[in-house]
Amino acid sequence: MAGKALTRAGNYAAAAQAFRRALAAAEGTNVGEVKLVELYDALAMAYAEAGQYSESEHEYRRALALAERTEGRQSLEYALLVAGMAVLPTQIGNREPVIEILSQAIAANRGTGSARERAILGVCLAGILVDGKRYVEAESVLLEAQSGAAGLKTIDPILLAELLSGLGVLRFDQRRYSESVDLYLESLRLFERAMGDQHPSLVAQLNNLGLSYFKLGRLNDAELTLRRANVVCGNTLGEGHATCRAVLGGYAVVLRKLNRKREAKAVAARSKQIARASQSRNEVGLTTSVTTLRTKSNNVR
């Protein structure tokens, strides 16, 4: 399917258009509801990566309604859809129902389900737990996912990269910055081998690595890494994308610390300019996503 190829290439806006066309064609036929769930899910993920979060939530809700009718709320597919929608920035407030659904799905599939899909759920659940500063629970979830997916480096290196990145986020929040650097470096290497050196999936890894270097006082490493993150972001997502704003904000802080004040001022001004434009488009940037986990491996859903 064209949409899957475009998603893998990081062309999310074009992928969304392709999935919309596929949905329009499918809805006019006798295609089964399971296939429709897959298309709604794929469109929702493409919208999320393109920064169109309201549209993404709308498609996730359509997919969830169908999945509940065809497979039930206790199904693995329903839990995966919940995980996808849960990490959208539109989802705020009480996260306990989501945590319960994901935890139950992981437990229910612990002995018989796919280790890969349990790992996807684990990464999403851990992200929610870290946001809530529930670090002990998050670490347990991530380590279980990692131990249960021992063959991922060969079978699905992208998912392994996301697991390592999730651990990196946890270590960063725990102020264990040397460990977060090691985890982000390994995650980045896996992404680069699988996706090349110019793919939007690299931006978050480079940004997080650069911030970890900054916390360690490795300012030159931080500057080089965040500069590269900004270049990759501009080349792949466009210089006006909300994610580039987030990268530029951190880059400006590093430049000020390096006493490159004129550059820092210009970079900060550009970040604010993008922020104003992004706000009018309802974009956020640099959010957790399951698109990488679920669509950029050999086992494309």
Tokens of 121: 């759920």
**pLDDT on residue 149:** 67
**pLDDT on residue 299:** 28
The one-letter code for the residue type at 278 is S
**pLDDT on residue 296:** 37
Tokens of 78: 């329903």
Tokens of 215: 């916390």
Domains of the chain plus CATH, in order, are 1-72 (1.25.40)
The one-letter code for the residue type at 52 is Q
Please state the length of the chain: 301
Q: What is the pLDDT along the chain (301 residues), one digit of tens a residue?
A: 588 899 888 889 899 999 999 999 888 787 788 889 999 999 999 998 888 889 999 999 999 999 999 988 888 899 999 988 988 877 777 789 999 999 999 998 887 767 788 888 999 999 999 989 999 999 999 998 888 766 666 678 888 899 999 999 999 999 999 999 999 999 999 999 999 999 999 999 999 999 999 999 999 999 999 999 999 999 998 888 888 999 999 999 999 999 999 999 999 999 999 888 766 555 555 544 444 444 433 222 2
- What's the CA gap between 301 and 294, in Å, rounded? 6
Q: Do 206 and 225 meet the contact criterion of CB atoms below 8 Å apart?
A: yes
Tokens of 222: 């931080």
